[in-house]
Structure 1
Amino acid sequence: MTLPCTSPAPLRFGANYVPSAGWFYSWLDPSADAFRRDFEDLAGIGLDHVRVFPIWPWIQPNRTLIRQRGIDDLLGLIDVAAEFGLSVAVDLLQGHLSSFDFLPSWVLTWHRRSVFTDPAVRDGVAAYVDTLTRAVATRDNVFAVTLGNEVDNLWPANPTAPEESARWAAELVGVARAAAPRLLSLHSLYDAAWYDPGHPFHPADSVDLGDLTTVHSWVFNGVSALDGPLGPATVSHADYLVELAAATSLDPARPVWLQEVGAPRPDVPEADAAEFVRRTLATVTANPALWGVTWWCSHDLDRALADFPEREYDLGLFTVDHRAKPAARELAAAVRERPAAGGRPALVCGVDLRSEPDRRADVAPGSAFHAEWVRLRQAGPLAVVSASRAADSAYLAARGIDAVLTQA
């Protein structure tokens, strides 16, 4: 499908939904009343959508068995979200969540085979994507399905190569589109796809596959080590990823969804969290390519649950007992107004991420190009443009670029 893009357009603001009671284990014993308490929190600060994460092996425990009860539980949650005016994006393959991988037994142990390359597994996954997408499309408040949460985190335990990865994602996006043409069908990757030269999922996958581009901005990838929790590299990282994505797309009007961004400790100490949120949102919401922001995450993780990385416990906008945290107040303030978008310069990038994925380190945080972009970005909005399109006046105008700069 084609997604119209006008600039500036109203931004979408939402949260990645982490249930306050029982984390994602709550899918084993779902409670509509618990969902209502959580969604009341989110609607109360002006959010318009949630991204939700059904657990794949609990719905498809066998390659040829897709549980209707699991689908009904998901539909029940979607219906509760509608009660609060929240639209819903559904991630299909979980897959990977908060340092845990949830894979069905039919791809593990004696049955170990790659999710990305084994033909029988791919047939099973395609059936799951088709069935779940058709089911959620029956609800008017569902607007998107994503293949899964950072599916590239499942590598290298599931061996794949770039061509296989791209083929896998393209096939499944096609399955989702055929099942529900009115929904956005999306492909979601974490930022190794942009920064790691050896990663088997490439930047082109992000910008060519699916109906818009998604990026996940996490400052614990090394950015915060450059200049601390409130330094210019840290608070502009989300904007930098949006720009890399916009510059890599062949379509100058392709929107970019900041599908995950958060304030993780210890990279962002509690005392700095509100200011980090304020500065990050002020920077990225001025970007004309931005479609929306979905904060990670809605609610903290109950510390009664063991074995999570320390930073996972306190990422919520709300505590487990429904108290709004400073991040929630800052996000609520950002919902009310998008900064005016005007012309902006662009910094020419000598790396073509489409054709030179082996040079991804040259744009990674701490690289010379990144350092120059961060330096110049402090003076105001700054685009990224590839060298091959730096003289294309129609392309530059379409992206709101009025001057071209080169690295000092």
Structure 2
Amino acid sequence: MPLPLPSSPPLRFGANYVPSSGWFYGALDRAAADAVRRDFEDLAGIGLDHVRVFPIWPWIQPNRSLIRQAPIDDLLGLIDLAAEFELSVSVDLIQGHLSSFDFLPSWVLTWHRRSLFTDPEVRAGLVAYVDRLAREVATRANVFAVTLGNEVNNLYPANPTTPEASTAWAAELIDAARAAAPRLLTLHSLYDATWYEPGHPFHPADNVELGDLTTVHSWVFNGVSALDGPLGPATVTHADYLVELAAATSADPTRPVWLQEVGAPRPDIPEHDAPEFVRRMLGDVIANPALWGVTWWCSHDLDRSLADFPEREYDLGLFTVDHVAKPVARELAAVIREHRRPTGRRPALVCEVDLRAEPERRGEVAPGSAFHTAWVRRRRTGPLAIVTAARAGDTAYLDARGIDTVLPPC
């Protein structure tokens, strides 16, 4: 007889915080407290419980031996304002990459050009930075996590690396953050090339072995929406598919997966389809027992007076720059009110690819692959796990993941 499923903790719902005024450039002038309060009031008002925030690395550490206290104090003030609205906070450390721009200090650029991932002096500077910032934010009770940085693999290939160097780099910084702030979750953040591109130098094993839980970022402009349109099954289940890949890749069957970024980008998801996309996508991924929480990208739209962003970046917010709740915000709020965590078991589709051991085969599980197509087809009848061939006969493992039936690959 299968073991009873362990009780699941409540799902977390939050937003990646993009200020409604001035984007992240507002930090250069110390954002007005009342403006930040208004932003956080918007988010708390639709039932969100956390925000993910993004201090800009080169503004805090403009020289390898200089870490400025003033922007750190501004960050702590931001965290305190979130606490006023009972919002807990996750802090990304190395920004790094944001909305198609890379923010890097001059001491790794121009005549000083050297790779973040391989140069020993740069890595020493980053250890000092991560140590300092993690210690500072851990003084605030409403901070629950630090992430090394936002999609740090976007900083490749401008910063050359190898799989071995990428793993060592992340492990070193995670160790530094844990030592500095042992009560916080410490996380690694990578965009989906690590799951889908065979030659990418950041490997799936890093996602599921480094840090305290796995993070995934689901963006349907990666080609998924081209398979079957804005409301097609491949599009609306992509978030669930990534969470499942992560769960199946981990050696720990109980390791949680945080959907740390998901959004409704135009033109892939037209404005009139966005609320339905939100409801269907969240309905599917919430059924996944591995899911820790969902953090929407992003809180507020980007002011169109700011130039040179990709067109889709301007309209990703839950709220306009004038604090009007958009249809996606109202739909998200309804899902938060109405959702229930699943209690039943589900079947699993066997995947012949073990992403931890065979990263060179990542293309075989990428969107549009034979495996992905088979999973999407079967997923239409209800929740569907993924299990590697090596684990398909491991009864204890299957029980821990709530899997009652193993389906052969198609």
Q: Residues 6 and 174 from structure 1, CA distance in 2 versus in 1: closer, same or farther, beyond 3 angstroms?
A: farther
Alignment match, 1:26: 26
Q: How does 1:7-406 map to 2 (within 5 A)?
A: 7-29=7-29, 30-336=31-337, 337-406=339-408
Whether the 8 Å contact between 1:39 and 1:84 is mirrored in structure 2 is yes
Say which SS state the counterpart of residue 92 (structure 2) adopts.
strand
Whether the 8 Å contact between 1:7 and 1:288 is mirrored in structure 2 is no
Residue 322 of structure 1 aligns with an amino acid whose one-letter code is H
Q: Deviations over 1:335-383 (max 9, x none)?
A: 1222423110000000010111000000000000000000000000000
Moved over 4 A (4+): none
Q: Give the distance between the partners of 2:110 and 2:17, measured in 1 at CA.
A: 31
Q: Deviations over 1:131-170 (max 9, x none)?
A: 0000000000000000000000000000000000000000
Unaligned runs of 5+ in 2: none
Q: Give the distance between the partners of 2:341 and 2:183, measured in 1 at CA.
A: 30
Whether the 8 Å contact between 1:10 and 1:338 is mirrored in structure 2 is no
Residue 260 of structure 2 aligns with an amino acid whose one-letter code is Q
Q: Give the distance between the partners of 1:306 and 1:299, measured in 2 at CA.
A: 17
Q: Give the distance between the partners of 1:91 and 1:9, measured in 2 at CA.
A: 24
Q: Give the distance between the partners of 2:341 and 2:289, measured in 1 at CA.
A: 10
Say which SS state the counterpart of residue 404 (structure 2) adopts.
strand
Residue 9 of structure 1 aligns with an amino acid whose one-letter code is P
Residue 293 of structure 2 aligns with an amino acid whose one-letter code is G
Q: Give the distance between the partners of 1:109 and 1:380, measured in 2 at CA.
A: 53
Q: Deviations over 1:46-94 (max 9, x none)?
A: 0000000000000000000000001000000000000000000000000
Residue 181 of structure 2 aligns with an amino acid whose one-letter code is A
Unaligned runs of 5+ in 1: none
Q: Give the distance between the partners of 1:297 and 1:338, measured in 2 at CA.
A: 24
Q: Give the distance between the partners of 2:124 and 2:181, measured in 1 at CA.
A: 18
Which deviates the most, 335-344 or 112-121?
335-344
Q: Give the distance between the partners of 1:338 and 1:210, measured in 2 at CA.
A: 28
Q: Give the distance between the partners of 1:44 and 1:81, measured in 2 at CA.
A: 13
Q: Give the distance between the partners of 1:339 and 1:307, measured in 2 at CA.
A: 41
Q: Give the distance between the partners of 1:7 and 1:117, measured in 2 at CA.
A: 43
Q: Give the distance between the partners of 2:21 and 2:127, measured in 1 at CA.
A: 31
Output the TM-score relative to the length of structure 2.
0.98
Q: Give the distance between the partners of 1:168 and 1:378, measured in 2 at CA.
A: 40
CA RMSD of aligned residues (A): 0.8
Residue 85 of structure 1 aligns with an amino acid whose one-letter code is E
1:330, CA displacement in angstroms?
Answer: 1.2
Q: Give the distance between the partners of 2:363 and 2:340, measured in 1 at CA.
A: 32
Q: Residues 308 and 59 from structure 1, CA distance in 2 versus in 1: closer, same or farther, beyond 3 angstroms?
A: same
Say which SS state the counterpart of residue 15 (structure 2) adopts.
strand
Q: Give the distance between the partners of 1:261 and 1:289, measured in 2 at CA.
A: 16
Q: Give the distance between the partners of 1:377 and 1:60, measured in 2 at CA.
A: 47
Residue 55 of structure 1 aligns with an amino acid whose one-letter code is I
User: What is the aligned-residue identity percentage?
Assistant: 80
Say which SS state the counterpart of residue 147 (structure 2) adopts.
strand
Q: Give the distance between the partners of 2:172 and 2:400, measured in 1 at CA.
A: 30
1:6, CA displacement in angstroms?
Answer: 4.7
Whether the 8 Å contact between 2:352 and 2:409 is mirrored in structure 1 is no
Q: Give the distance between the partners of 2:135 and 2:335, measured in 1 at CA.
A: 34
Q: Give the distance between the partners of 1:58 and 1:32, measured in 2 at CA.
A: 20
Q: Give the distance between the partners of 1:8 and 1:234, measured in 2 at CA.
A: 26
Say which SS state the counterpart of residue 92 (structure 1) adopts.
strand
Whether the 8 Å contact between 1:11 and 1:338 is mirrored in structure 2 is no
Q: Give the distance between the partners of 2:199 and 2:322, measured in 1 at CA.
A: 43
Q: Give the distance between the partners of 1:235 and 1:9, measured in 2 at CA.
A: 24
Say which SS state the counterpart of residue 322 (structure 2) adopts.
coil
Q: Deviations over 1:266-315 (max 9, x none)?
A: 00000000000000000000100000000000000000000000000000
Whether the 8 Å contact between 2:288 and 2:342 is mirrored in structure 1 is no
Q: Deviations over 1:155-208 (max 9, x none)?
A: 000000000000000000000000010000000000000000010000000000
